Amino acid sequence: MIDIQEALSQVLESSQNYGQEKVPLMESVGRFLAEDIHTDRDAPPFDRVTMDGIAIQLGDLENQPLGSYPIQGIQAAGLPQMTLENRKHCIEVMTGAIMPKNADTVIPYEEVEIQDGQAKINLEKIAKRNIHYRGSDSRQGEKIIANGKKINAADIGVLATVGKITVKVSNLPDVAIISTGDELVNVDETPQEHQIRKSNVYSLWAGLMKDGIKPEMFHITDDKTELEDKLKGLLKDFDVLLLSGGVSKGKYDMIPEVLDDLGVQKSFHRVAQKPGKPFWFGFHKELNSKVFAFPGNPLATYVGYQFYFRQWLHQSLGEKLQFNVCTLGKSLPGNPKISQFVPVQINKKNGEAMPIKNNGSGDLFSLSQTEAFLLVPRREGENQAGEKFQLIEMS
Amino acid sequence: MIDIQEALSQVLESSQNYGQEKVPLMESVGRFLAEDIHTDRDAPPFDRVTMDGIAIQLGDLENQPLGSYPIQGIQAAGLPQMTLENRKHCIEVMTGAIMPKNADTVIPYEEVEIQDGQAKINLEKIAKRNIHYRGSDSRQGEKIIANGKKINAADIGVLATVGKITVKVSNLPDVAIISTGDELVNVDETPQEHQIRKSNVYSLWAGLMKDGIKPEMFHITDDKTELEDKLKGLLKDFDVLLLSGGVSKGKYDMIPEVLDDLGVQKSFHRVAQKPGKPFWFGFHKELNSKVFAFPGNPLATYVGYQFYFRQWLHQSLGEKLQFNVCTLGKSLPGNPKISQFVPVQINKKNGEAMPIKNNGSGDLFSLSQTEAFLLVPRREGENQAGEKFQLIEMS
């Protein structure tokens, strides 16, 4: 049995690049950038008016702007640059417009009185120019989004601004989700007393969809020949197999043995963690497929996906997945042998993580109340309220 | 000009239910539940074995289990319940199986030696039964997910378990995203010096898609007749209009006037906040459409969407959107006149919010570095490092 950090580092070591593709801008959201993004122009691309008002030629900010300025015209946003022809005149300017030539200061309408084509300035002291100067955010050619970033809604706006109609992104791995366990029946069936409906595969499916991956779902019965036949095919057809169940010490927990027979190299089996101790991870060298075999208990599968698979995915395709830390809101007994993923809700008033009651790793319903897992490393003594731990947020 | 809390409460007052629909389980993720979810059986539905090992009839936990137990058979997961025929015998049991009749305790394989059909127990003191008892998580008919919850990946697993092949969810509003401003050109065009490409509408589009809404995008030029004609049609055809631009004090900021002409009732115009002061909000009573008219600056539009629209959406369709709080990592000057949405990154080591440099609300590129906005209310004096404020996370 290995420690959680050792398990994670072995999982991350098997990260893998699946190549790149170009997708239209609007399909790139949620994907990992596979190129640096540079500005195509200075930003802003021109001296940009930031207030509606009048533009004058003031010179020094110390100068006295008081007086009446005949209005030469209107510089609207979207119109080519005008020129202030007379330094005692002004041009009305609109937010977002290019600053007229020869003008250097915008006086907002709030400080101006307009009558009979004249703008009278009511402001004695000028504090600022109200210009967003060309290139003051960034210079043409500057890197503004780094290769590897997971593209969010704000990035889409940035990509649009620099004219990226297509975006180079990392290919996503093909993922198979596989349930095992003869006690499982389909969602549309009525289980007999000793049976339950499948659930983990649906949670995995929903999680993967949120990460942009469209997985396929399979079920294999607890029959060694069937397991071998089907897993053999899936190892060939998919980049990643996410298994749920079949890795404990039971008579029908044949997954580790079958994977071994099929040439999948075991990285580890069993991690000093709760839930999810019997987690098995390995890879097939020739076929280049990875196998995450999670224990079948709902919390074990779910936390395994969130902690191991998602870090592996980020490491493989782009930027590192960084979890936040969060303050424990209530003392918890420590466990010197095992690290714990503690299901928590976040207290919205003070931001602290409050452990929620659950009935062990089989308690699926508590998972629906869980906002995140606090990763409390194995240690002697108590975990004190007020200490900070990594927060594994639900994707 | 009104305060941010007053603005928010007026926005939330105009929340609205758009009816319900039934969708297949796998299409329900990200939607808001429009029914309470109850268990269809006890959970677990039977006394469930939680360790691989042997099941015996021990009676009192104080009893001495030492001895050799002839193995009667194997109770696998997915098999109907067996009966322990002789109280001096045992049945091998697998995690997830139903507990055999007449047996009351599972001894894990780790504590057992199996030879010649006999299981010899090496454990002197029994501490627990290793049974997840029927109904100990919840009783049949118990409410396990409340009406209004936004369905996440864990919920999908719960819904699967209780056999919800279709799920009742709230209908989503039809949303139109409308850019205005003659300085804007399309992403595939090369802007002239005084022009820029559209960007806000793409960020809004990506944000809405994440909330499950498939919006339509429109552009209207700064022409009063065109504005009136097009907005008139959009008010009829859509439940919500999200406008970007045209609400400041400029000559061509005709949105408020045009909306008024079209019978849209103004709730407010201008909020004591930065960015996004000229935010305009209203609704058309007869047509039953809402109008969020955000200032055209990227940060103003984006923060307006995240703070006002998303709270309105949650209030309309289901559970309240609750923002977490976060500790400010660095002191900031207070502003007695205006509340500030401060762009921040989260320090992953201590969980504190660190304000990031930006060049004003027109600085789109800084938005791509922003992880969240800290809402610092208007106040005298300094906002001290260590104080906690609401964190508006990016959707």
Q: What is the dihedral of CA B270, B388, B330, A326, to 10 degrees?
A: -130
Most B-contacting residue of A184, A202, A358 (CB-CB within 10 A), to test interface: A202
CA atoms of B14 and A11, how far apart (whole Å): 49
Which secondary structure element, helix H or strand E, spans residue A12, and what is its range?
helix A4-13
pLDDT score recorded for residue B361: 61
For chain B, first and last CA: distance in Å? 28
Q: Do A125 and A117 contact (CB within 8 A), yes or no?
A: no
Task: Return the minimum-mean-pLDDT range out of A16-25, A92-101, A247-256, B337-346.
Answer: A247-256
In a 3-state reduction of DSSP, which class is residue B293? strand
> B237: distance to nearest CA of chain A, Å?
24
**pLDDT tens digits for range A299-349:** 999 999 999 999 999 999 999 999 999 999 999 999 999 999 999 999 999
Chain A residues touching residue B348 (CB < 8 angstroms): 322-325
Distance from C-alpha of A234 to C-alpha of A175, rounded to nearest angstrom: 10
CA distances from B60 to A300, A354, B47, B91, B105 (A): 31, 35, 18, 19, 10
For residue A160, the chain B residues in CB contact (below 8 A) are 187, 197-199, 202
Q: Is the dihedral of CA A215, A221, A222, A225 positive or negative?
A: negative
- Asked if B200 has any chain A CB less than 8 Å from its own CB, the reply is yes
pLDDT, mean over chain B:
95
User: Across residues A103-127, what is the average pLDDT?
Assistant: 92
CA A122 from chain center: how many Å?
A: 50
Count of beta carbons in the 10 Å neighbourhood of residue A188: 10
Indicate yes or no: CB of A154 within 8 angstroms of CB of B326.
no
Give the mean pLDDT of B370-392.
95
DSSP per residue, B176-192? EEEEE-TTEE-TTS---
Q: What local confidence, expressed as pLDDT, does residue A362 receive? A: 65
- A48-49 and A265-269 strand pairing: unpaired
User: What number is the average pLDDT over the span B89-107?
Assistant: 96
pLDDT digits (tens, 9 = 90+) for B5-31: 999 999 999 999 999 999 999 999 999
For residue B101, pLDDT over 70 is answered with yes
pLDDT value of residue A365? 85
Tokens 């397991």 — which residue?
A227
B357 pLDDT more than 90:
no
Please report the pLDDT score of residue A9 as a whole number: 98
DSSP string computed for B70-90: EEEEEE-TTSPPPB---TT-E
Q: Is B294 near chain A, with CB under 8 Å?
A: no
Please state the rounded mean pLDDT for residues A26-46: 96
Residue B362's pLDDT is what? 65
Contact criterion met (CB < 8 Å) for B368 and A96 = no
Give the integer Cα–Cα distance in Å for B209 and A29: 10
pLDDT at position B358: 75
C-alpha span between B85 and B58 (Å, rounded): 14
- pLDDT for A216 beyond 80: yes
- Residue B344 β-bridge partners: B355, B372
Shortest distance, CA A249 to any CA of chain B (angstroms): 6
For residues A178 and A244, the answer to whether their CB atoms sit within 8 Å is yes
Chain center to CA of A2 = 29
Longest dimension (CA), chain A: 95
Residue B271 confidence (pLDDT) = 98
| CA B175 from centroid of its chain's CA atoms | 19
Burial of B217 (0-12, 13-18, 19+ CB in 10 A): middle
Out of A108, A207, A359, whose CB is closest to B137?
A: A359
pLDDT of residue B180: 94
* Residue appearing with tokens 């995008």: B217
Retrieve residue B309's tokens.
């629209």
CA distances from residue A260 to A70, A243, A251 in whole angstroms, order as listed: 87, 15, 16
Give residue A115's identity as a one-letter amino acid code. Answer: Q
For residues B215-230, give the mean pLDDT.
96
Length of chain A: 395
In chain B, % of residues over pLDDT 70: 99
For A194-203, write each residue's pLDDT tens digit. Answer: 999 999 999 9
Q: Which of B157, B181, B326 sits opposite A298 (nearest CB)?
A: B157
> Please, which pLDDT band fits residue A64 given cuts at 50, 70 and 90?
confident
Contacts of B258 (CB under 8 A, 6+ apart): B224, B227, B228, B231
| Span B122-129, average pLDDT | 86
Q: What's the rounded Cα separation, in Å, for the pair B208 and A214?
A: 20
pLDDT, average across residues A236-246: 97
- Residue of A80, A298, A362 with shortest CB distance to B50: A362
Instruction: Specify the range with the lowest mean pLDDT, choosing from A227-231, B262-266, B295-299.
Output: B295-299
CA distances from B225 to A143, B232, B258 (A): 41, 11, 9
Q: Which helix (H) or strand (E) holds B341?
A: strand B339-346
Average pLDDT, chain A: 95
User: Which SS3 state, helix, strand or coil, does residue B163 take?
Assistant: coil
Task: Please report which confidence band the pLDDT of residue B66 belongs to, taking 50, 70 and 90 as the band edges.
Answer: confident
pLDDT in the model for residue A251: 84
Helix (H) or strand (E) holding A161: helix A153-161
Question: What is the pLDDT, as a whole number, of residue B81?
Answer: 97
Contacts of B346 in chain A (CB under 8 A): 324
Q: Give me the residues of A, 224-263, that contact B with CB < 8 A.
A: 245, 248-253
User: Per DSSP, which regions of A102-215 are E strands?
Assistant: 105-108, 112-115, 118-121, 131-132, 143-145, 166-170, 175-180, 184-185, 196-197
Does residue A135 belong to the interface with chain B, where contact is any CB pair within 8 Å? no
Please provide residue A145's backbone torsions phi and psi, each rounded to the nearest 5 degrees. Answer: -135, 135
Contact status of B105 with chain A (Cβ, < 8 Å): no
ipTM of predicted complex:
0.93
- Find the DSSP H helices in chain B: 4-13, 153-161, 200-210, 224-237, 255-261, 298-304, 310-317, 364-367
- Give the bridge partners for B375, in sequence order: B341, B390
C-beta atoms of A348 and B322 within 8 A: yes
* pLDDT tens digits along A40-51: 999 899 999 999
Task: Say yes or no to pLDDT of B375 above 80.
Answer: yes
A9 phi/psi in degrees, rounded to 5: -70, -30
Q: Which two tokens stand for residue B13?
A: 């007052």
> How does residue A361 score in pLDDT terms, banded at 50, 70 and 90?
low
Amino acid letter, residue A303: V
Instruction: Write out residues 361-380 of B within 8 Å (CB-CB) of A.
Output: 362-368, 370
**Among B98, B132, B205, beta carbon nearest to A360:** B132
Residue B384: pLDDT above 80? yes
Tokens of B265: 């009732």
Question: Does residue A5 surpass a pLDDT of 80?
Answer: yes
Query: Residue A8 — very low, low, confident or very high, per pLDDT cuts 50/70/90?
Result: very high
Measure in Å the smallest separation between the Cα of A221 and chain B Cα atoms: 10
Q: Does B331 touch chain A (CB under 8 A)?
A: no
Check CB contact under 8 Å for B251 and A94: yes
Q: Which residues share a beta bridge with A162? A: none
Query: Which domains does chain B show, CATH number per domain?
Result: 4-18+172-317 (3.40.980.10), 21-41+139-170 (3.90.105.10), 48-132 (2.170.190.11), 324-393 (2.40.340.10)
Measure the CA angle with vertex B393, ends B392 and B395; round to 5°.
125
| Average pLDDT of span B31-54 | 95
